Structure 1
Amino acid sequence: MSESSRGTVLMLFICAFFWGSTFPVAKFVLNEMDGLSLAIWRFVIAASLLALYMLYRRERITRLSLAQWALVIVAGVVGIGAFNWALFTGLTQTAATNGALIMALSPLVTNLLVAIIQKRWLTLPQGLGIALALLGVLLVITDGQLQRLLQLQFNHGDQLVILGMLAWSAYTVCSQYISRWLALLPFTLLSMLAGCGALLLMSLAQSASHPVAALANLSWTATAGVLYVSIFATVLGYLLWLNGVKVLGPATASLFFNLVPVFSALTALLLGQPLTAIQLLGMVIVLSGLMLAPLWQRLRRRRATA
């Protein structure tokens, strides 16, 4: 593994930490603000900060064709607007465990999409790595009580989370193609603006959502939570994720999404919630699944040069 690849892997670990730690923070904020309003302010603040940073760096957006503009906008509407709306709305109608289990399928779906598009199927180590990581995630989420999976009942909220998971997987795959002709910062900003526009339209269509009033009535601690979600989980998180997809490809980068529930559990531990031995075992299995394919490739290269 090259130095740049090692740096990218580290960045994806940091990204997973930001996203994992966001779950308990967002759960706290959602006690004072509806999910759609949180999603809107998350990307309004994030897009504003990115725009200011691009102005500071005097970075311009590459001239794009009409088809390229359309693809960037669709990617933002699907991967940011639809994903966040479906996830937050779905979680208000289903259990958090159901939502986490469904989102855990994202790396598998992403790899399947890549295999179909590129007509290149998974190798045995890649398949085993995905299966191991998924098993580890299930152990973390269910606390080792895998029989609980048989007791799950899927409702409309679950269907929305499935829609969100598919949207995120499609966004991850699409972003690698877009990164070939559009730099990381402009793509992140434009996709956030498109997604934010879609969320604002959804808010106008829902009389129960009042983003401005919701933000004005937040406590200081909840406001700090919104800023954390906007800056760390969104600005930094998305930049690190899209860079990982660009360097490693969507199939490999998507595996690091399995670390999100791991870091979520560790963050909950820091906040005073207990962590069991089974959950720790699940975390070890997740890491083993992530390392399996790279170690297998390194072993094959050594055998080839021996």
Structure 2
Amino acid sequence: MTQQQKTMAWAFLLPLMAVLIWSLNMTVNRYVADYISPLSISFYRWVLAFLVMTPFVYRCIKKQWPDIRPYLGHLALLGALGMVFYQGLAYSSAHYTSATNMGLINAFIPVFTIIVGVFILKIRPSITAILGSLLSLIGLMYVMAQGQWAHVLSLGDSYIGDLMMLLAVFFYACYGVLLKKWQIQIPLVSSLYIQICFALIMHLPFIAFMGLDAINVNNVASIAYAGIFPSIAAPLLWMMAVQQLGPNRSSIFMNLMPIFTAMIAYVWLGESWTIYHTVGGVVILLGILLAQYSPKPKLT
């Protein structure tokens, strides 16, 4: 294995670890939905992330401020898309649908990423990326149909939560594409920190209108997890993945979220895991492998 191949192998671990963290967070979202409002947990998680990061990055931010200032508009929009709209809608969705459904719908991110990328980045996706995405989508739809295609059009009473989650993943696809388009030339940690600051500011008008729930023994552990792992670790891993692999290749790993989420929800929340999850999961994995394949140019 060449050094370049080893580097690529490590790069593929970046989105994989991020998706695993987010998959667990999907289950946390569903678990804590009965104990705290979507706005409250969204705000508390970013407050915690801000407090954890500030001692480590504040001095660096002061030194880098001249380089950061030109990107403030971009960072504000990224914070809105990834930390306010996506997370807020995901927490709201958890009040209406299952963690398994949330993980399934999150797998639409690669499809949205390709569509948004065509318009914003003017990217012409490879045939293997298109076929891999379609294959993964077929696996996803099979799981959503519970192994019976007639169920695709009758998803039940959870459609409100499902639609919220679908809109959330569209916003996150936009986040990934814009992150790639702008190529913000500041350290990733600084970028994440500034985005968190903007996300906190954007929460304030909603808090003034709706108020906050209290932190208690039922929700404090979920807030702690959400404030550290999916708020700091996973975004850093994901931004590094987008830089190394690009938005299309990175986003295809989101198709693993239905499998990870369903497994975690089965163990933790008792949500069902059946043969159609297994069959659909295999198809999704095959689609991911196909989408990652880049044919070598023929030597002449």
Q: TM-score range by the shorter chain?
A: 0.7 to 0.9
Which secondary structure does the structure 2 equivalent of 1:210 belong to? coil
Which secondary structure does the structure 2 equivalent of 1:122 belong to? coil
* Partner of residue 135 from structure 2, selected from 129, 132, 137: 132
- Per-residue CA deviation, residues 117-159 of structure 1 (Å, 9 max, x unaligned), is 2323222211110011122223344432332221147966555
- Taking the aligned partners of 1:264 and 1:100, their CA distance within structure 2 comes to 6
Change (3 A) 1:198 1:55: closer
- Per-residue CA deviation, residues 38-61 of structure 1 (Å, 9 max, x unaligned), is 111111111222223325878843
Confirm or deny that 1:73 pairs with 2:87: no
Confirm or deny that 1:188 pairs with 2:192: yes
Aligned length in residues:
295
Instruction: Give structure 2 stretches of 5+ with no counterpart.
Output: none
Confirm or deny that 1:226 pairs with 2:226: no
Q: TM-score normalized by structure 2?
A: 0.86
Identity %: 23
Instruction: Give structure 1 stretches of 5+ with no counterpart.
Output: none
Change (3 A) 1:59 1:275: farther
Q: TM-score normalized by structure 1?
A: 0.85
Q: Where does residue 204 of structure 2 map in the other structure? A: 200
Contact 1:141 1:261 in 2 (8 A): no
Contact 2:18 2:237 in 1 (8 A): yes
Q: Where does residue 289 of structure 1 map in the other structure? A: 287
- Taking the aligned partners of 1:199 and 1:131, their CA distance within structure 2 comes to 36
Q: Where does residue 121 of structure 1 map in the other structure? A: 124
Q: Where does residue 12 of structure 2 map in the other structure? A: 9
Deviation at 1:239, TM superposition (A): 0.7
- Per-residue CA deviation, residues 70-89 of structure 1 (Å, 9 max, x unaligned), is 11112212221122223323
Contact 1:81 1:194 in 2 (8 A): no
* Partner of residue 33 from structure 1, selected from 33, 36, 42: 36
Contact 2:43 2:200 in 1 (8 A): yes
Which secondary structure does the structure 1 equivalent of 2:152 belong to? helix
- Taking the aligned partners of 1:156 and 1:276, their CA distance within structure 2 comes to 24
* Partner of residue 61 from structure 1, selected from 47, 56, 64: 64
Q: Where does residue 149 of structure 1 map in the other structure? A: 152
Deviation at 1:194, TM superposition (A): 0.9
Alignment of 1:167-178 (within 5 A): 167-178=171-182
- Taking the aligned partners of 2:108 and 2:279, their CA distance within structure 1 comes to 20
Read off the aligned partner of 2:71 and give its amino acid letter. Q
Confirm or deny that 1:252 pairs with 2:255: no
Contact 2:99 2:265 in 1 (8 A): no
Q: Please, what is the CA RMSD of the aligned residues? A: 2.7
Confirm or deny that 1:87 pairs with 2:84: no
